Chains A and B, each alone.
Chain A
Amino acid sequence: MVQKNRLKRSDFIFIESGEAFQPFQYSVGKEGSRFFTELRDHKKFFGLKCPSCKKVYVPPRKVCGPCFKTMEEWVEVGPMGTLSAFTILRFPFIDPETGEKKPVPYGYAFILLDGASTQFQHFLKVDPDWPPTIGIRVKPVFAENRQGKLSDILHFEAA
């Protein structure tokens, strides 16, 4: 007699990926390495200026895409900036570098650093006494032990 397939919903099998992970060692390159070194050692922001359109890229990169020109002129920008977009998050995320959960609520922002042409992205301090609005002035708060990465800045807050 032919057996009929009578699998119940709970009989279906799933394969878990378990603790599998894919480690990467992402190269930051020459320009990115200079940027993070200045941030770590001097709490300074540096960008690269396009010789053609004069746009200042922060974080820096080698090429101005629209002009297709190599950028070599370093320009110090910030540390003050203007808030240009933000949100306050109510759900946590797992930091891919530390594996730790970011406490909620926290703010996320686009900041136009003084002298820069591109938006810099980082956390925004959430302060009930200070509801952020687009256009306010902000400043960075640096970590004590800086390691040459994005987390050398803790967050931006009202200036």
Chain B
Amino acid sequence: MIDFLNMDRKEIEEKLTDFLIDEFEIDEEKIYPEAKLKEDLEIDSLDFVDIAVMVEKTFGFKMRPEEMTDVKTLEQFCDYIQAKMK
């Protein structure tokens, strides 16, 4: 059983990084807080469908597109996940 409530920031970052490396096959050196999801990591609209599956399984909440409008970078994405988990 995943303990969603007690997941700290570092753990969120690690899980997200692992997912991007293992599932999206993104080079590790491309993954840094300021990296832009679309421009730098080349994540497209179809990829967000798969990210939503991962988020629900890993972090236990449903990602909503309307909440994602201001999420542009990896750091902002971690902020979003952390805020949703509180």
**A and B bind:** no
